[in-house]
Amino acid sequence: MGALDPIRLSDTAATGCPSGLQNIPVAQIDPLSVQLDLTPYVQSTEEGHQRIDLIVQGAHCGGCLTKIERGVGAIASVKTARMNLSTLRLRVEWTGDKSQASVIAQTLSKLGFGAAPYDITQSDDGREAESKALLRAMAVAGFAAMNVMLLSIAVWSGGTDMGPQTHTLLHWISAAIALPTVAYAGRPFFRSAWAALKNKRTNMDVPISLAILLACSLSVYETVKGNPDTYFDAAVMLLFLLLIGRFLDARLRLRTGEAARRLAAMQVTSATRLLDTGVIETVPARDIHPGDRLLIPAGQRIAVDCIIESGQSDIDMQIATGETKLQSFGPGDTLYSGTTNLGAPLTVRAIAKHSDSFLSEITALVEAGEQNKSRFVRIADKAARAYVPVVHSVAALTFIGWMIVGGDLRVAALNAIAVLIITCPCALGLAVPAVQIVAAGRLFKAGVLVKSGDALERLAKTKTVIFDKTGTLTTGQFNLLNAADNAPTDLAIAAALAKQSTHPLARALHAYASDLDVKDVVDIAGQGLSAKVSGHTVRFGSAKLVGEAAEPAARHSSVWLKIDDRPAQCLAFTDMARADAADTIAALQDQGLRVEMLSGDAAAVVKDVADELGLSRAKGGVSPKQKMQIIQTRGIEGRYPLMVGDGINDAPALAAGYSSASLASAADVSRSAADIILQGDRLSSLPVAIDIARAAQRRVVENLTLAVGYNFIAIPLAVLGFVNPLIAAVAMSGSSLIVTLNALRLHRNNHSVFEAEGVS
């Protein structure tokens, strides 16, 4: 076993989350207790290294990610340690034997984190529970806030007509509601603040917790003394507003790993293995090794990368290339995991393990792209970094100053609490969400769904838009080009036979079908169909099937039709561009954006579509990994690329893009990986989305400026004793109202944009 490097590990020695967000002891969250044998979960790589995937429990922030990667990387034999914060997956690769896995588990435990063998279908269980707990706390705080505010209104409006005893009674009722509410609903903030303080750190939850606890303590004191003013309403309302933001953030973090989870669900969990003795057995896909012979029946997804030994069939390659046209494969051809056998049964030989096959690689690429996005620091987070030390310092100095000047503990405490309340980050916290809510509502009316909280900020920086071709700029559905060159009766015969097939080109002929009698249909693997149609002998498929020497050297997809002994006819098909594709590209270019197209289709086909749409930058024959690499290059160049795609093969590129968009009709995985979804399959809403994102970014900057300006005015008043906690609570609410009203201006300033798009 390798030894730990004490110097490097000391940099990360503080236990748990550096930001104090982990609030459960490691002993409770670590299901291993550092004793579970992990060797069965270790895999050997082609380079002779060992590798294991673990789910890390207790990781919450970028600080956790850095701490874990550095801590595990400090083990002498470890070559790489990479963590995905979206799915909580840690992949470690090392030299030596498999028993080194226990050292990794022990290291994680010493760092303050739990670990277990990675299962992507269960990796979000903890976050789902956290989200539900926050929702319950928010509901309790909201209910209590309504009731305490009603009691406060009664006190305020009672005036001289209400006696001191009645005032005190209403204050005690408020306390009976507020104090249990604060104890229950405030736990997420209190635990986080306490964990941060134990680690000799501070975070945003420390001043929040102080403000809530001190406001409640002061209110209890004022109630006991029979004084007229209490601040239970301020404490509970503050808690409710902050829980809303915390819940939305938790839901966002839960959703960030959705694309990777959907891809994992697509991976085949079992396969049929053919032993040398002739015995057929069903085995888990993870147990398949290179050299194993497998049987792939028609209709089954392929579990691992393999080479065909016998059989010929049509394969749906859309997941790998994006092409909707089925491709014929035979002995010696290579098939990739995730593709689907749609023709005849095949016997294949595995050339890679399940974890090293194509679909696993796609999953890894998506996770890597999602992790890069999770490193994005929102503008509000940047503004909040200076907030905590400033607020703590000002409140402490206020208390000390008033103790020196007047020596009255109650007055000093009142003014210090007023500083904490008046500077509570409601305006700062609402500055961004308020704009996002308004912008998301306007985008929804424009046919755009916003999926993540930081999507608009990233979308606003876009300088380059990169489109996939098939299913994005084109419809993904084929149309017959040369219908006029063929007799209607011939097309009816072809359509009658085509109804027996699910091939995309065959489906394009269904519109020409009639009630002709079809008999004796034979499916010739990899070539097409033959049958008797109303007494005619008909063959429909490849050039080889009808006796032609070769396929035509054309840029369009084609299929051959031969009726009886007549000369074969070539039917040409094309994937039509979307009706609004050209206008969308022109609109994006008018916004000063560079537009490109990347596709897995043949270069000649891609060039035709690019010429039709007025695109000067287009590239064909691009694999999913190459798409991702090109997008990463654009990011390095400072182009902030927006990727637009629809297929499973586009998911890595969508995850890697600085921002991303997908059509509503896209594959589930692509919709999950995208930041925004274009409803109604309309590309024309994309320029609108970018326009609104840019306007929203301006409103965010304005709101943050207003929030900071408010504090510059309010803090001196609170420090000098001109503001008590009640007025501080009102001022705090007023600042939140101001940033909300400013966010609503986004609707008015972008109204002309929506009118241009026909949106009310």
Q: Which residues are tagged catalytic?
A: 468
Tokens encoding 21: 């967000």
Please name which of 326, 151, 342, 122 lies closest in space to residue 237, comparing C-alpha atoms. 151
Which long-range contacts link 106-110 to residues 24+ away (Cβ below 8 Å)?
A: 106/34, 107/4, 107/9, 107/71, 107/72, 107/74, 107/75, 108/54, 108/56, 108/68, 108/71, 108/72, 109/26, 109/30, 109/32, 109/34, 110/9, 110/15, 110/71
Say if residues 501 and 529 touch (Cβ distance below 8 Å).
Answer: yes
Read off φ and ψ for residue 328, nearest 5 degrees: -90, 135
* Helices first, then strands: H and E counts in the chain: 28, 27
Task: Give the chain's end-to-end CA distance (angstroms, integer).
Answer: 67
Under DSSP, is residue 600 helix (H, G, I), strand (E, B) or coil? coil
The CA R_g of the chain, rounded to the nearest whole Å, is 32
83/70 Cα distance (integer angstroms): 11
Q: Residue 59: exposed, middle, or buried by beta-carbon count in 10 A (0-12, 13-18, 19+)? A: buried
List, in order, residues 6 or more apart from 135 with CB less than 8 Å away.
Answer: 247
CA distances from 10 to 16, 71, 109, 112 (A): 14, 9, 14, 13
List, in order, residues 6 or more apart from 84 with CB less than 8 Å away.
Answer: 90, 257, 260, 367, 368, 370, 371
134/129 Cα distance (integer angstroms): 9
720/63 Cα distance (integer angstroms): 38
CA distances from 549 to 298, 328, 567, 657 (A): 28, 17, 13, 44
Please name which of 641, 663, 300 lies closest in space to residue 470, comparing C-alpha atoms. 663
Tokens encoding 531: 């049958």
Residue 41 is given by DSSP the state G
Edge to edge, the sheet with strand 340-341 lists 327-329, 313-316, 340-341
519/125 Cα distance (integer angstroms): 54
Under DSSP, is residue 398 helix (H, G, I), strand (E, B) or coil? helix
Q: Up-side HSE of residue 320: CA atoms within 13 Å toward CB?
A: 20
Q: Up-side HSE of residue 730: CA atoms within 13 Å toward CB?
A: 5
AA letter at 95: T
Read off φ and ψ for residue 634, nearest 5 degrees: -60, -35
AA letter at 159: G
Q: Residue 286: exposed, middle, or buried by beta-carbon count in 10 A (0-12, 13-18, 19+)? A: middle
Largest CA distance in the chain: 112
Say if residues 320 and 336 touch (Cβ distance below 8 Å).
Answer: yes
Q: Up-side HSE of residue 380: CA atoms within 13 Å toward CB?
A: 24
* C-alpha 600, offset from chain centre: 24
Tokens encoding 171: 């204050």
Say if residues 294 and 325 touch (Cβ distance below 8 Å).
Answer: no
Residue 511 is given by DSSP the state G
